Amino acid sequence: MKKWFTRSALAAACLAALCGCQTTTMGGATGSDRSQLMIVSAEEMNQQSAQAYRSLLAKAKQANALNTNRSYTNRVVSISKRLINQVGVFRKDALRWKWEVNVLSSKTVNAFCMPGGKIAVYTGLIDSLKLTDGELAAVIGHEICHALREHSREQASQQAATSIPTAILGSFIGSSELASGMNKVLFSLPFSRSMETEADTMGMELMARAGYNPEEAVNVWRKMAALNGGGNSVAILSTHPSDNSRIENLQSHLPEVMPLYEATLSKKPTGTTRTKSRHR
C-alpha cells in the first residue's frame, strides 16, 4: 500500500513536472495566483460539463421545473449578467464563454456554476433563505469564481494523478475512467478549503464591482449557518460548510472590496457579454 502510494505520489510529481502547473486567473484586488495542477484538458472538462448541464436541464424540463417562474428567472438572469460583465478582471477569456443561466423549481437549497459558465439556481435557495439581490449575487458570484478558477478541472486532475497506477509515464488515462471521475467531481465532491476561500474572496470582489454591497456576502453565510432545513434538502451546505473561519475570512477582505463597491456606485455599468437563458 505504502509502495503504491509512494509510486502514485511520484507519478503525480512527474506529471506536474511534465505538464507544468499553472494558474487560471490573474488580476483584481483579491485574485489568487496559487499554482494549480491541470492534467485534464479544459476542453474535455467543458465538454463533460456541458453534457451534464444539458442532461440536468432536460430532466428539469420534463418535470416542468425549468424556468417556470418568470420573475425568479428574470431576477437570477439579471444579477448573473451584472456579475458576468465583471469576470474580465480575473480572466479576459471568460468574457467570451458561452454563459448560460437557468432557474430550477425545487425545494433543494443549492446553486452552482459548472465549468465553462453553466449556472443553475434552485428556487429553494432563494425562498428558504429569503435572499436579497445582494445576497443572491454573493452566492452566484462565489459559484462563478469556482468556474473562473477551474476548481473542478483541478480536482479532476488531482484525482486522475493520484488514481493512476505506476508506470504512468508513456501511458494515458482511459476516456471512460476520465468521464466517471469528472461526473463525481461535477456533482458530489466538495471543493477543498483553499478553493472555497478563493471563491469566497474573489466572489466578493466580483459582486462589489457589479455594484452589490459585499457586506451581504457575510449576511448570506450567516443565514446559511442558521438555516434549519425545514424538510428541504440543504445541498449547498454539504459542500459549503458555513463556519466561523469562512465568515472571518469574508470580513477580513471587506476593506479591500468596499472601495470597489463605492467606486461602482458612482459610475454606470459597462461592458456586455453573451448570456444565454432559456425560457421554456
Q: In this complex, which beta carbon is closest to Zn ion, that of residue 97 or of residue 221?
A: 221
Tell me which stretch binds Zn ion (CB under 5 A): 79-87, 115-123, 192-200, 272-280. Answer: 192-200
For Zn ion (CB under 5 A), the number of binding residues is 2
The beta-strand segments (E) located in the chain are 21-22, 36-37, 99-104, 111-114, 118-122, 275-277
Tell me which stretch binds Zn ion (CB under 5 A): 11-19, 62-70, 123-131, 198-206. Answer: 198-206
Q: Select from 73, 109, 66, 100 the least CA-distant residue to 228.
A: 109
Quick check: 111 binds Zn ion (CB under 5 A)? Answer: no
Quick check: 136 binds Zn ion (CB under 5 A)? Answer: no
182 beta partners: none
Tell me which stretch binds Zn ion (CB under 5 A): 7-15, 113-121, 165-173, 194-202. Answer: 194-202
Spatial separation of the C-alpha atoms in residues 70 and 130, rounded to whole Å? 18
Active site residue 143: yes
Tell me which stretch binds Zn ion (CB under 5 A): 89-97, 127-135, 193-201, 268-276. Answer: 193-201
From candidates 60, 83, 199, 220, binder to Zn ion by CB under 5 A: 199
List binders of Zn ion among 17-46 (CB under 5 A).
none
Closest residue to Zn ion: CB criterion: 199
Choose, from 143, 150, 196, 198, the residue flagged as catalytic: 143
Quick check: 87 binds Zn ion (CB under 5 A)? Answer: no
Q: In this complex, which beta carbon is closest to Zn ion, that of residue 119 or of residue 164?
A: 119
Read off the C-alpha cell for 182: 469528472
Q: In the block, which residue shows the cell 499554482? A: 35
Read off the C-alpha cell for 110: 443549492
Q: In this complex, which beta carbon is closest to Zn ion, that of residue 94 or of residue 144?
A: 144
Shortest distance, position 238 Cβ to Zn ion, whole Å: 11
Shortest distance, position 195 Cβ to Zn ion, whole Å: 7
Q: In this complex, which beta carbon is closest to Zn ion, that of residue 147 or of residue 164?
A: 147
Kindly report each contact of residues 38-44 with a partner whose C-beta sits within 8 Å and lies 24 or more positions away, as own/partner.
38/150, 38/153, 38/154, 38/157, 39/15, 39/157, 39/160, 39/161, 40/153, 40/156, 40/157, 40/160, 40/178, 40/182, 42/115, 42/150, 42/153, 44/178, 44/182
Question: What's at 112, amino acid-wise?
Answer: F
The beta-strand segments (E) located in 140-242 are none
Q: In this complex, which beta carbon is closest to Zn ion, that of residue 168 or of residue 224?
A: 224
Quick check: 147 binds Zn ion (CB under 5 A)? Answer: no
Quick check: 234 binds Zn ion (CB under 5 A)? Answer: no
Q: Select from 74, 27, 115, 83 the least CA-distant residue to 217.
A: 83
Read off the C-alpha cell for 197: 476561500
Catalytic residues: 143
Q: Which residues make up the interface to Zn ion (CB under 5 A)?
A: 196, 199
